[in-house]
Amino acid sequence: MKKNLQIILGFGIGAYLIWLLFHDTDWPAVGHALREANWWWLALSFSLVFVTFLTRIKRWGYIVRTAQPVPFRAMFSATQIGFLGNFTLPGRVGEVIRAVVLSRLTGMTFSRCFAFVALDRVTDLFGLIVVMLISVSVFHPTEPIVLEELSEPIQPDAIRLAAFSTGVVMVGIIAAFVLLYINKGFALKVVSATVGRVSARLSAQLEAMLAQFADGMHVFKSLGDMSRAIGWSLITWTIGTLCYYCVLEAFAIEAPWYTSVIVMAFLAVAISIPSTPGFVGPFHIAIVGAVVVVAPDTDRDVARAAALLAHLINTVPVWITGGICLYTEKLGLLELRRQGTQVEEDGENTATGTPVRES
């Protein structure tokens, strides 16, 4: 029931954001902007998306190899099928599907594979923190920002405060994972002493999950591997930023050089909220919002055209590679979703420490 409510909420938020962004759109103007776009810049952006697929696998490889050597194909298939799950299925099940696929292709337990997925997301946070720090350091308006979409102007310190707060949360998450590894017993006692006062059952579930994460956090045994993983995270975020720089150039949007960094920051926040599959709605409004906040005089219909095409540039490669991986590995996305949902609900595979097998 809770999962269904989250899905309904996500669709509701996505639908509202789509209406908010496109209800007064001049579609002939959007079409004109698309026809006038520089397709060489767009082709470069499209190519860079595929490059990020490879850098993500390189980053994840330094984590997964701490358990056993894993073929590139297994990690690539698991990652791309997981992405495909996020872009086609409701409920943000892609990360669970990613762990299920890795377990099936390698024979490792689901709990270990899911811990590796969680650790990959942790290293990803380092790139996000750098993006937030750059955003705070380069974008500091001195006057209120007036946008026609909002009834009230955005105060000068509001965006910096939001970016700083997000950065603090990210650092806190990283610190929690580090503490979990350094002193698992103390971390679990903290959970028991805090969450246990509210719900003993929730505390027990959370402690079991954290203990599983700690058991899989072998990457912290090697400072070199951790540093390399973080380095590839920074490379991945840099290439992602360049993707949006190319899109802005394709539509000749006149904005400061750091606009693509602000776009990445807005996107990171927007796609973290519940939404429709493929982040339809939050993705588009984040790009348009970032552009018009940095360059308020930008034509809204040109910005909307850029957002629509940027979403396709990010989505089509996921469909292509995810579909090929499903066919190559002879897997079904709905079957993987069912297995992932079952593992989440009853925790049987996690508790028994057995690999996820085909039904």
- 251-278 pLDDT per residue, tens: 999 999 999 999 998 898 888 887 788 8
pLDDT given for residue 27 in this prediction: 94
Q: Please choose, from the candidates 59, 92, 53, the residue with its C-alpha nearest in 3D space to the C-alpha of residue 76.
A: 53
Cα distance between residue 136 and residue 262, in whole Å: 9
**Higher local confidence (pLDDT), 96 or 356:** 96
Question: Is pLDDT of 182 > 60?
Answer: yes
Domain extent listing, the chain: 30-172+218-352
Residue-wise burial string across 321-331, b where 16 or more C-beta atoms lie within 10 A, e elsewhere: bbeebbeebeb
pLDDT in tens, 116-125: 898 898 888 8
pLDDT given for residue 176 in this prediction: 75
Q: Any idea which of 180-189, 254-263, 284-293 has the lowest mean pLDDT?
A: 180-189
What average pLDDT does this structure show over 144-156? 65
pLDDT given for residue 4 in this prediction: 66
Question: Is pLDDT of 326 > 90?
Answer: yes
Q: Look up residue 37 and give its two tokens.
A: 């776009």
Are 313 and 34 contacting, i.e. CB atoms less than 8 angstroms apart? Answer: no
| Residue pointed to by tokens 């989440």 | 344
What average pLDDT does this structure show over 69-73? 91
Place 347 in a pLDDT band, splitting at 50, 70 and 90.
low
Question: Is pLDDT of 52 > 50?
Answer: yes
Q: Decide: helix, strand or coil at residue 334.
A: helix
What average pLDDT does this structure show over 25-30? 94
**Higher local confidence (pLDDT), 93 or 98:** 98
Task: Identify the H or E element spanning 150.
Answer: none
pLDDT averaged over every residue in the chain: 84
Question: Is pLDDT of 357 > 60?
Answer: no
Cα distance between residue 38 and residue 316, in whole Å: 19
Q: Look up residue 125 and give its two tokens.
A: 């946070």
What average pLDDT does this structure show over 69-82? 94
Rounded to the nearest angstrom, the gap between the alpha carbon of residue 336 and the centroid of all alpha carbons in its chain is 20
**Winning range, highest mean pLDDT, from 110-124, 164-178, 292-306:** 292-306
Question: Is pLDDT of 201 > 50?
Answer: yes
Cβ neighbours for 242, distance < 8 A, ≥ 6 positions apart:
45, 48, 260
pLDDT given for residue 252 in this prediction: 95
Residue-wise burial string across 144-160, b where 16 or more C-beta atoms lie within 10 A, e elsewhere: ebeeeeeeeebeeeebb
Cα distance between residue 39 and residue 246, in whole Å: 10
Separation in Å, CA 69 to CA 221, 240, 336: 16, 28, 24
pLDDT given for residue 126 in this prediction: 85
pLDDT given for residue 245 in this prediction: 97
Predicted model pTM: 0.83
